[in-house]
Structures are given as structure tokens and as C-alpha cells.
Structure 1
């Protein structure tokens, strides 16, 4: 089986006229290498990747195609997808990148080893995701589009969290303490593409799971290292498998899969765990950074499990019988 792996940041997706941020390149490389290590252990699998010429070449034994002009990346990715049996995109939801990848692969008729485009379209919008999950009766932090509350401000007196509706990670995520802070933030720039949520106290965490056709197989619950400095949030990694996979979290995973049946393969759900249980922040319809420690934490070859799930009929992943917490840091 020939698989095309497209990691957006390191594989040609970044603008040609600016340097690739070192932190994004590091995170992308970590996810890419973890996925390649798993794929290369699967008998009969051959892998092609693309690589931005501004980054060091890969040492992995894969076919690597260097991209010298990122403006040509999308046409090249489509051509390469047509030559592959399956395509595994690793891309942010921002600016519709992951949805575009998914639709491109669906048009080619090749196996999309990620969530369907319709599910990605919903999950790429924090407002749309919250509305869907709330309608399904799941505990989710409310989300308001900034343009809908810009005149009077969001409900309550704060604090709130603001972020891009299609953002990934903690990019441009800020804490707004009160209405004066809100007005100052609005005056800084165009905020029409942002959303606002009430600040939810508790422990930042994520669920890593596999999905297909409205069913979820939870793998680990992960503690997240989210820090706040100068009113800005940042994500620095966490502990994969650092939290017990409680019945409440397992039920949450199943509820998300039922509400978004187009989710497939690796999926992450960001939650806040408080005294009353977990509350959903957002759904990441793709491989997430926690995948970097998944093999060591669980012993499971996640890539092999996803390939088995893509079969007809699907082969469910084996149960995770042991979890060893793995510290994951994105620094240096």
C-alpha cells in the first residue's frame, strides 16, 4: 500500500515569503516522525512525503519530494494523491487547510486516512462545533461569535477567552478579564473572525481516540500544559496518558463520535475537567501533538490501527491494556 503523508507546516504549506516559525516546525516534525515510525512498521506499506526546502531533509527511509515553491504545493499534493492508495494529511483547521486537504483527497477517490470533509468543516469552526454538541446534549463551553456580541459585549462580567473561530492550538488565544479589557481588545484589530467563550476553571486536558462511523475507541486522557502570561495562553505539551480515562470521559468520546459521524481515524477532544466533570472546549478532527507519545504510552501502533479501521469491514483496534504516562514538551 502506497501512502502519501502531507504534514502541512514542514511539507510545503507555509507562505514562501516568511520564515517558518521554529516552534511550528518542531511540532510538525514531531508528529511527522511519530507517524512515519508507525507506518514503516506496517508490512507492505510504502510512504511518500513532501518536504519544504527551507528545512533539513528527512532521515527516514521514505520517498521525500522537496518543495521549493510552496505556491505550487496544492497542485503537487493533488497529483501525488492520485498516485497513492491512501492519503494522511496532518494540517491545521486554520484558513480551511485541513478541509481543503480532505476534499481534495475525496475528489481523487483515494482512501482518506483522516476525518471526512463534512466533519472537518464543522470541527474547523468552534462556534459550529459547540452548537452541534450542545444540541446533542453534550457538556460544552458556550461559544459566541464576536460579531454577534460586539455591541454589548459577551454575556456576564468576565473573564472570557477569545480565539480565532478556526484557530489551532493556543494561537491568538487571550484572556479577557472584564468589559474594559474587552473594549481594548476589540480596538486592537479586526476581530470579525474570532469567537469568545466564558473562562472555564479546571484542569486542561485532551482525549485521544480513534473513530469510524459514529463510534469512538478512546486511547488516552492527557494532561495539557497550558500557561498564561501577559493575558496570552500558550501550549507547551503535557503528559500523554497523564489522566485516568474515566467513565465520564469515555462517554464523552462516544457522544462526540455520534454527533460527528464523519470523524475518522485519529481525533482529539480538548476538555476542561472541573469538579462537575469534563466540559468540551473543541474537537480536533486530525492527528494531534499527543500522538507523539502515544506509542510509548500505550504500546499501540496507531497508524496500523487506523489502516485496520479503514478496511471494509473495519477491524477495531485492540483494547489498551496498560498506560505509561509520557511527558511531552514542545520546548527547545
Structure 2
């Protein structure tokens, strides 16, 4: 079997990749800046225990520090593959993989994907449909950038992820407020630095979907699309979705074509990618490209209907294989459990959700006593439920009914 290094993961369901790799018989090394972001998820400690070794207190977004931590491990037990499920760590992982002589996406491509303005520029050059955009280094420049775009606009960090700092603005004051928060940000945690650069984009009205792709030697293969339920502006956090999305065949084909053209434009050759698109009045347009497997519990949702474990595909790709997606059977739907107001979580009762018809999984990411609030970024979600069934209509209804049975109580302070 192979030796796989996993560099960081996703804050929710972060250790499922470790469990999957260990279950395939691989030696697994997990490297993290800190385990804190992961241990709040159900079953995290048990999954972490499946790793062969765990290395912490590493600046995992720094290629030099990451290589220094792994080089002695590699001498002792040669590494055959590296992967990450964290957007902020794709570049460092790729650079170290190259230094170790491993098959992996090229570092220059992963670096490109971490710069949303560069991606926009390349898509424009290739004629890939996308919203209008402009870069800004200050709040004043962001307000001025809006002049060529019109209102409303989306304001986001040029190197952000997880919906951090993303907002929809309808006035100059709102643009300035969002941009000032971005330029003041110096890091995203887990040693990931922020450039402070701002991207201002036209807001395109329409449903949002994501296309989950696997690219092997430049050939793009789609698992399918996921539709998106977003929180209302100004903070369009993802609150749910169904896989596969219920799209007409011609529209699905066009979404996959636009997605593949975008991946070609930025040079993706060997990677899982999660590409978000808006289905605008003029057709699908690229929102952003993420150079890793879709996050959150969406892979668990996909597994229910694909009849396979997509984490196995991530592992296989990392250690030099050529996995291929399979067709979906049925539909699965995910919904986020959120706090109704800011405060301290006094109670989170999901037993009624677990007993609801059609519910396959309930996952909790937040413990009683933690400070919570309405979802302004992905990390604000308290937990999730996943329902599965034969059709989108049936499974969406089941998910909404189950979500209504979640009991969330928030108090103004820690006293309960």
C-alpha cells in the first residue's frame, strides 16, 4: 500500500479523508497547524485515530515549513502522494509534492487558483462567460470600481474561501464597509495569510449551482452538479443543496461545457475541482473555481447516491491513480442548521431531525457553550442534515420538514 500525506482538511467532516485512506490500507500522515478546528465535529477523534501519524504545530500554508516537517518523515517512510481538502493549503501542498517528486497538480496552477483576479483575467482572455469584475487595493478603489459595473455588486477577498468576507452591496457605503473589512484582514487561520486584495464583481441574478469535476491528465470528468440554497444578501452563505441538481439535459451539458472551458483556461490538469456557476439570463457564468474537492458534508451527500466513496477517488488520484466518476442513482439533499441570533449556544437538540422520514445522516459541528450567530460565513453553521430519496421533490420536502424539527436555543450569555 501507499503512504499518503494529508495536509489540513476541511473544518467540517475533516477527518473522513483519513478514515477513507486508512480503510484502503494506506499509511496516512496528517499534518495540521492545529487540531482545534476539527475536533468539534461528531466522530472527529475516532477518525483522527485512524491516521498512522499526526504532525501538528506546523505552518502548513508555508511550503518551506511544510517541507521541513515532512522531509524527515519521507526519509523514514517514502511518501507516495499528497493531498489537501483545504482551499488555503492547495499551493503549499502542490509545491511540496513537486519537491518530493510526486504526481500532483502543478504548483503554478494551484497558485493561480488562489488569486481570483488572475482567474478572472484568464477566463476573460479565453472568452469563458463570467460576471464583470474589477480589482481593488483599497475601499476607495472598490467604490470606484463599481462605476463600471452598476449595482448590486459582490465584494469578496481576492484570495478568500469559505464565504469569508463575501457580501452583496447595493450602495457605495456598503461597498466601502465590505472592502475595508477585507483590506484589514491579515489571515484566515491555520497559517493562511491574506493579501488584503479586493475583487468587485457584477451581481448576476439566477440560481447558483456547482459542478464537481475530476481532471486526470487534462481530461475533465464530471460527477454532476449540486444546486445551492443561499442565505439572502448581504451574506450569501450556502445553507443547502441537492445532488445531482435537477437540470434539463441541455442546460446540464452547457454547465459542464462552460466548467471544462474554465478549467482549460486556468490550466488544470490533475485535480478535483469545485466550480461554482450562476445560471444567469444569458446562460451559465463562472463564479469561482476551487482547486480541491467540494467542501462541507457535500461529499457525504454525494456518496449516498453515487454508490461509491468520493474520498477514495481523492486518495487514488493523490497516489497516482486514474479514478473515474460514476452515475448517480437517486437524489440527496443537505440543509444547514443555523442559529437564529447572536449569543451562546444553550441547546442543540437534533433527535427529532434524526427520526424524520428520509433523513440519512445528521452531523453536528458546534458544542453547547460556544458563541454562535446567524450564518455570515460557512464556519457559522451549527450542523447539517442529509436526506436521500428517489426524486428531488421528495427529498427536498423531507429535508425541509426535518430541518423544522431542529431545536436551537441561544442565550445572551453563558449562563443557562
Q: Could you tell me the TM-score, scaled by structure 1's length?
A: 0.79
Partner of 1:164: 157
Distance 1:187 1:159, change over 3 A: same
Distance 1:37 1:298, change over 3 A: farther
**How do 1:1-332 and structure 2 match up within 5 A?**
1-8=2-9, 27-33=10-16, 35-42=17-24, 44-50=25-31, 52-54=34-36, 56=39, 58-60=45-47, 61-67=50-56, 69-71=57-59, 74=66, 75-80=68-73, 83-93=78-88, 97-112=89-104, 115-147=105-137, 149-150=141-142, 152-154=144-146, 155-186=148-179, 190=183, 193-228=197-232, 231-244=234-247, 246-289=252-295, 290-306=298-314, 315=322, 317-327=324-334, 329=336, 330-332=381-383
Segments of structure 1 that go 5 or more residues without pairing to the other structure are 9-26
Distance 1:123 1:188, change over 3 A: closer
Distance 1:209 1:189, change over 3 A: closer
Partner of 1:17: none
Instruction: Judge conservation of contact 1:31–1:288 (CA < 8 Å) in 2.
Output: no
Distance 1:188 1:168, change over 3 A: closer
Instruction: Judge conservation of contact 2:97–2:103 (CA < 8 Å) in 1.
Output: yes
Give the match's secondary structure for 1:217. Answer: strand
Q: Could you tell me the TM-score, scaled by structure 2's length?
A: 0.65
Deviation at 1:271, TM superposition (A): 0.8
Give the match's secondary structure for 1:3. Answer: strand
Point out the more displaced range, 141-150 or 214-223: 141-150
Partner of 2:389: none
Segments of structure 2 that go 5 or more residues without pairing to the other structure are 185-195, 337-380, 384-416
Instruction: Judge conservation of contact 2:213–2:222 (CA < 8 Å) in 1.
Output: yes
CA offsets, 1:15-37, max 9 Å, x none?
xxxxxxxxxxxx5241431x234
> Taking CA–CA contacts closer than 8 Å with sequence separation of 6 or more, which of the two structures ends up with the larger relative contact order?
1
Deviation at 1:41, TM superposition (A): 4.3
Deviation at 1:143, TM superposition (A): 2.3
> 1: CA distance between counterparts of 2:87 and 2:116?
13
CA offsets, 1:180-224, max 9 Å, x none?
433455566737511100111111221111002322101021112
CA offsets, 1:226-267, max 9 Å, x none?
2135x3332334323233371111212321232233342311
CA offsets, 1:19-78, max 9 Å, x none?
xxxxxxxx5241431x23433443x423222463546463133314252x3458633245
Distance 1:260 1:297, change over 3 A: farther
Whose radius of gyration is greater, 1 or 2? 2
Deviation at 1:286, TM superposition (A): 0.8
Distance 1:286 1:156, change over 3 A: closer
